[in-house]
A and B are shown apart, each in its own frame.
Chain A
Amino acid sequence: MNDTAQIPEDRSVRDGDGAATVVPSRGRAGAEPTRSRPRSQQWAAWGFLTPVVIYLGVFYAYPLYRNIDLSLRNYTVRSFVDGNATFTGPANYRAVLDDPTFMPALTHTVVFTAASLLLQYGIGLALAVFFTQHFRLAATLRALFLVPWLLPLIVSASTWSWMLNSDSGVVNAVLRAVGIGPVNWLTSPSWSLASVVIANIWIGIPFNLVVLYSGLQSIPASLYEAAALDGANAWQRFRHVTFPLLRPVSAITLLLGLVYTLKVFDIIWIMTRGGPVNSSTTLATWSYRLGFGNALPAFGHGAAVGNLLVLIALVFGMVYIRVQRKQQAS
């Protein structure tokens, strides 16, 4: 915020909006020379800034603080109501890390996130490149690909669990028709994670498609013409023109996808409840189960798992910034 306060006030307001919409996409020309301003205008600047600061404080900083506080205290239902939970420091974290569910949940989170990201990005990019060839009905088809994004998650997740039903699901019916025995998609511990990954990839493709497609639009056609004149074939044009120029867009797509995928909860919960026997439990569903899954909530443990998730997202955010800085420096 300090940084924002120093720049001219007409800008600082727009910056405030930028903070709320997460990714400021408009390029900003070089900084104007800072002139000294009358005091009243400084106050006006702060006035414009206040709503944003209050908004961030109330809806982001305070919940985050409460979550950290929750994770450092021994909450029972009674102390939750009375508000006199004893401070236990890292005891909740230790309990969570020692829990036999922790390692499987972490592994599943990593597998779920990595597999989802890789395939969402790969398929999204392939489709984006495909749609840059302007053919008839391309726009209609592209709009159709957005459907998974527009459907409420509860609808798509329920539909997937219905399609993947062991006995009456359409997927097994098709497999049977081609002579493959039924797969217990949601009820076998060895398949349940794969099933939720498949559903999540399907849901994530539109986001990757849209962002990467708009990234492709900004690559000048002249570069492709030049490459074609130099005798580059389609693959070489993709490998040496498209992919490198798309790198910044790819990076932000993957980062947002990562954060989004880490915290995926609804799809898994609706399709498998994290089961059978934890076989599709991720940190997000585990956190929910600890906090709300049975009649006797363990808020402290749930909050601790939630904070570990936040920490993981933060680490990757840092990695992203590092990589960006390096790219800019070179």
Chain B
Amino acid sequence: MNRSTGWRLAAASLAAVVLASAGTACSSSTGTSAADGGSASAGGTYTVWDPYPQFDVGSAWAKLLDTCGSQAGVQIKRTAFDTSDLTTKALLAAQQGNSPDVLIVDNPVVSTLAEAGVLTSARESKVDTSAVSPNLLAAGQGGGETFGTPIGANTLALYYNKAVLNAAGVDVASIKDWASLTAALTKVKAAGKKGITFSGIGTEEGSFQFLPWFWGSGAQLTHLDSAQAASALSLWTDWVKQGLAPNSVINNTQTTSWQEFATGEFAFAENGTWQLANAKKAGFEYGVIPVPGMTGGTAPAPTGGEFVTVPVQKKTARYSVSDKLVSCLTSADNSYATDATLSYIAPTPTVQDKQAAADPDLKAWVDAVKAAKGRTSDDLGTKYPKISEQLWTSVQAALTGSKSPQAALSAAQSAAAH
């Protein structure tokens, strides 16, 4: 009995260690298995990783990849990842030396991967970026180099519910700046409806949603504690305090925020291009206006959307085919078709105009994308993630009332500069 008991106790304590470490250790070491099928595969097979798991084998996107592959004379092996997994997967694959040939990745991640030395510069891979709008390309630029090219862009604007605004007697054309927007929200509330919903959650999504207001006040990401920044955060905080925005915005993702808007109770929702298809299904008349700047004009909203990049390979001879694939995927015709499936705005002015001409609904979005700004632009690069984390923390602190907007932003600035 004694011996077996000792063994059993040892097993129990081992189990304790193992269970507790499973959550953390695995996350840093698994993933290598998912990174198989890398570029080492023989002959003419090229691997493509994308963050579009919603598209299966029969989708237009998968077919486009195959077409581009056969045009370049190679076979395509495609793997789709959840976008939040892709950064880690790409880093691990690079560590194991089996990066994909073409990697399609969310634009703020490009600078991180470039910093890690995972991506080739456009100079090396010969990818042509001359037609792309400079404000979109900037998200993938750093240190004088360009890493990849955008496949499409999306950004944020304000959706509004026409019926709610009409009932409250608000003319949407009167909304030019923050003061007129707040006045409209107050009218809507007085009419018994809800004002505006957005996402202030404590993740990158929260920063993404706050940035149009932050930049619209004239604030800079390098100075989180400026008076302009405080006025932007005060705007949000006051809305929540006065009940013009619901308390749930503190925990809203962009999806849950959209669900609130879809109830038909809200006058406004700050949301992205990708909700257009859902907006058409919402069952009420809607419109879109750009986020106004503090004293008028259109506030620069952050750009979303992915970059097509060419990761570093041991066999540099592969770059010429990869370049063909990238050019094919981002060519004018294909980009028009792809961006329609993704509900994105094209990255080149020519295709943008074509989109706006074909679908007048997209006009507001094309304008918003033209005014938009990359989060990692202005040579912020890998400084952005740290700044952003402090920014969303300060938003949460102010919205919950645990700190005043100015105090929250001052704390954020000192932590980000630290």
Contact = CB atoms under 8 A, between A and B. Distances in A.
A321 B115 contact: no
Interface in B1-39: 1, 3-30
A18 B382 contact: no
Given A77-B116, A187-B251, A296 B385 contact: yes
Given A187-B251, A294-B389, A310-B20, A67 B29 contact: yes
Interface string A288-330: 1001111111010011011101101110111011001100100
Nearest to B9: A321
Given A31-B3, A296-B382, A70 B19 contact: no
Contact of A295 (B30, B117, B202, B385): B385
A23 interface: yes
A168 B246 CA distance: 10
B29 A66 contact: yes
B393 A299 contact: no
Interface in B363-418: 382, 384-386, 388-389, 393, 396-397, 399-400, 402
Interface stretch (A36-44, A130-138, A216-224, A268-276): A268-276
Contacts of B231: none
B248 A168 contact: yes
Interface string B76-113: 00000000100110010011000000000000110111
B246 A81 contact: no
B247 A166 contact: yes
A66 B247 contact: no
A31 B6 CA distance: 13
B204 interface: yes
A112 interface: no
B118 interface: yes
Dominant SS among interface residues on chain A: helix
B326 interface: no
Interface string B153-185: 000000000000000000000000000000000
A314 B84 CA distance: 31
A174 to B, nearest CB: 17
B203 interface: yes
A278 B3 CA distance: 46
Contacts of A102: none
Contact of B19 (A294, A297, A299, A313): A313
Contact of A81 (B11, B94, B111, B400): B94
Contacts of A15: 7
Contacts of B246: 166-167
B20 A4 contact: no
- Among B11, B15, B247, residue most surrounded by chain A Cβ atoms (within 10 Å): B15
A252 B396 CA distance: 40
A295 B396 contact: no
A31 B116 contact: no
Contacts of B23: 263, 265, 284, 287, 306, 309
Given A22-B15, A62-B29, A255-B16, A189 B1 contact: no
A20 to B, nearest CB: 10
Contact of A294 (B16, B29, B30, B204): B204
A70 B247 CA distance: 40
A35 interface: no
B116 A18 contact: no
B28 A303 contact: yes
A277 interface: yes
A81 B91 contact: yes
A134 to B, nearest CB: 32
Q: Which of A4, A161, A166 counts the most B-chain CB atoms under 10 A from its CB?
A: A166
B68 interface: no
B115 A276 contact: no
Interface string B240-266: 000000111011000000001001000
B116 A277 contact: no
B403 to A, nearest CB: 8
A255 B12 contact: yes
A64 interface: yes
A187 B88 contact: no
Given A67-B24, A259-B16, A186 B251 contact: yes
Contacts of A316: 16
Contact of B389 (A66, A293, A299): A293
B251 A24 contact: no
A49 B386 CA distance: 48
Nearest to B84: A292
B201 interface: yes
Nearest to A314: B17
A80 B9 contact: no
A301 B16 CA distance: 22
A153 interface: no
A3 B6 contact: yes
B118 A306 contact: no
Q: Which of B88, B116, B248, B251 has the most CB of A within 10 A?
A: B251
A167 B247 contact: yes
B7 A317 contact: no
A50 interface: no
A179 interface: no
B222 to A, nearest CB: 16
Nearest to B108: A295
Contacts of B16: 255, 259, 313-314, 316-317, 320
Interface of B: 1, 3-30, 84, 87-88, 91, 94-95, 108-109, 111-113, 115-118, 201-204, 246-248, 250-251, 260, 263, 382, 384-386, 388-389, 393, 396-397, 399-400, 402
Lowest 5 A-B CB distances belong to which pairs? A306-B24, A313-B20, A317-B13, A275-B202, A77-B116
30 contacts: A3-B10, A24-B11, A28-B4, A60-B18, A66-B28, A77-B112, A81-B118, A166-B246, A166-B248, A186-B250, A260-B19, A263-B19, A273-B202, A276-B251, A276-B396, A277-B397, A284-B23, A284-B24, A287-B24, A293-B389, A294-B388, A294-B389, A295-B382, A303-B28, A310-B24, A313-B16, A314-B16, A317-B16, A320-B9, A320-B13
